[in-house]
Amino acid sequence: MLTLGWREWVALPGLDIPAIKAKLDTGARTSALHAYRVEPFTRHGAEHVRFWLHPLRRNARIDLQREAPVLDRRLVRDSGGHAELRYVIATQVRIGTRQWDIEITLTNRENMLFRMLLGRTAMTAGGITVDPSISCVCGNTAGRVYATHRGTKP
């Protein structure tokens, strides 16, 4: 088992997202990724989504557009009990030196403190436990990776 803090910088290499701050949320079953705009489309007969995100809070200059095949659409209830039908995609998450496959839903988290939630299903798959008294065990690389990362607006 790997013990991490309640918030960590993670990477989503399958989506070419080098760093995003995630809350490790044991109260959430599914993981969620910020997407302020989502457009479904078909490629070779399969459903895909194109989505846009600002990976860093309070920095709209970094604006990424990504695409992924759709695995599913699920009705997800937030902590306030509001239900939303969300697209589900698959990708890999990397925290420190550990990397594994996860499913993640797309939703607008513009007004939330964290652009991503890592839910307990993903944490179980990665052998992660959470120590709520610590944070950012694996450090902060966001400043370095976004200084020259492609996909940013000039």
What pLDDT digit, counting tens, does each position of 21-70 carry? Answer: 999 999 889 999 999 999 999 999 999 999 999 998 888 888 999 999 99
17: three-class secondary structure by DSSP = strand
59: three-class secondary structure by DSSP = coil
| C-alpha triplet 59, 65, 69: angle, nearest 5° | 135
β-pair type (46-53, 64-69)? antiparallel
Instruction: Tell me the one-letter amino acid at 151.
Output: G
For residues 97 and 115, give the distance between their C-alpha atoms in angstroms, rounded to a whole number.
Answer: 21
**For 82-90, what is the mean pLDDT?**
95
- Residue ranges of domains in the chain, CATH in brackets: 2-147 (2.40.70.10)
Mean pLDDT of the chain: 89
**What would the two tokens of residue 105 be?**
């839903």
For residues 144 and 70, give the distance between their C-alpha atoms in angstroms, rounded to a whole number.
Answer: 31
User: Burial of 62 by CB count in 10 Å (0-12 exposed, 13-18 middle, 19+ buried)?
Assistant: middle
Q: What is the pTM of this model?
A: 0.89
Confidence of residue 143 (pLDDT cuts 50, 70, 90): low
**What would the two tokens of residue 62 be?**
């970094």
- Expressed in angstroms, the distance from the first to the final Cα of the chain is 41
Q: Do residues 135 and 7 make contact, with C-beta atoms less than 8 angstroms apart?
A: yes
